[in-house]
Amino acid sequence: MTDAAELQRRTAELLAAHPPASTDRLDFLKARFDAGLAWVHYPEGLGGLNAPRSLQVVVDAELEAAGAPDNDPRRNGIGLGMAAPTILKYGTEEQKQRYLRPLWVGEEVWCQLFSEPGAGSDLAALGTRAVREDGGPSRSSEAESGGDWVVNGQKVWTSGAHNSRWAILIARTDPDVPKHAGITYFICDMTDPGVDVRPLRQITGEAEFNEVFLTDVRIPDSRRLGEIGEGWRVAQTTLNNERVAIGGMRLPREGGMIGPVSKTWRERPELRTQDLHQRLLKLWVDSEVARLTAERLRQQLVAGQPGPEGAGMKLAFARLNQEISGLEVELRGQEGLLYDDWTMRRPELVDFTGRDAGYRYLRSKGNSIEGGTSEVLLNIVAERVLGLPAEPRTDKDVAWKDLAR
């Protein structure tokens, strides 16, 4: 098994062969991927060395100390945090070879086509249809591969669709079975004819989200992930990784939203009150508990795939962001109500800490919706983590076509 010393040796060889100061950024990232130092726990040939996930920090520390470029992970968070682990688990060898390298180095950005206007919290009720053009089977997992699927429907709240080359897409391929059973998972080319991306302007004035209309979009069967009708099972891998990516990110002490308000508290003593002091202390402790819990969760991931525990971390992330940003606005008083830029923009990424308090307050409102609503995540924690009785579900055995809408 590859150990820390071996990774340090390989990293030194990479730096010697491709000095960061004189190597093109993209060329360096490709060389890093090919050396197995991109995500060390992935298989050899796919950016990794089959090493323990916990050893990634060894490589990252060596490269950071050498001034090597990173792959700007925030720009392609959906690709790195959600699409890649799903492709690794369910993709064919051809799909893994085609998509993982350009995804990791940042040549190709990904988005997620899951939620719909009528299927947000109840994602399994989605209505976007994918029909086999060749008339072949659309429900049997034994169906032969080949031919195209024709997709029609609408998706919503798609982060970064305006900057994306590829999308992970779930669509209904069989309306005659219960909703969870008739879904298939695809990779959609966002540059194909029939893909129409339209901005959704948010309360911040920006439009990082989109609605996406799919009109007779042709997807080759070679871009199907997993078996026909198994899309819900495949999507669980995506969703579990999404919640960990959002709520379990690695942060230093006072990283994230608690950092700016703590800095203001130290530098602006004239703003302090006893009540705000007590609230800040509580939120500081809560943030530190969440940070350490996220570290523990990442250590558990070394042994396998993320599970429902990520839902709890995402819940904590949303609550803390909203409470901290609200406290910051109160602390700053009138200046906390100012917002620097209402211009309609199409950002590549969300920058919580590089903007002013007004932006953080407004943008954090979306945290309890994106990546699964807090209400849905509470159910997941209750049923799949705590083992509490499940809510009654009267539609689980009803064919999708017969559901009330």
* Minimum mean pLDDT range among 138-147, 161-170, 291-300, 396-405: 138-147
Q: Are residues 84 and 61 in the same domain?
A: no
Does residue 41 sit in the same domain as residue 84? no
pLDDT tens for 394-403 read: 888 899 999 8
Radius of gyration of the chain (CA): 22
Contacts of 5 (CB under 8 A, 6+ apart): none
**CATH code where residue 333 lies:** 1.20.140.10
Closest CA to 217 of 247, 243, 192, 253: 192
Instruction: Assess whether 363 and 270 both reside in one domain.
Output: yes
Instruction: For residue 133, tell me if it sits in a domain.
Output: yes
Q: Is 47 left (phi over 0), alpha (psi -120 to 50) or beta?
A: left
Taking the C-alpha atoms of residue 105 and residue 102, their distance in angstroms, rounded to an integer, is 5
Average pLDDT, the chain: 89
Same domain? 362 vs 241? yes
Same domain, 295 and 378: yes
- Both 320 and 287 in one domain: the answer is yes
Among the ranges given (14-28, 132-146, 302-316), the one the predictor scored with the smallest mean pLDDT: 132-146
Q: Write down the pTM of the prediction.
A: 0.87
One domain, residues 130 and 166: yes
Number of domains comprising the chain: 3
Active site positions, annotated: 242
Q: Is the pLDDT of residue 112 over 90?
A: yes
pLDDT at 144 over 60: no
Is 58 in the same domain as 187?
no
> What confidence category does residue 242 fall into, taking pLDDT thresholds of 50, 70 and 90?
confident
First to last CA, the chain: 54
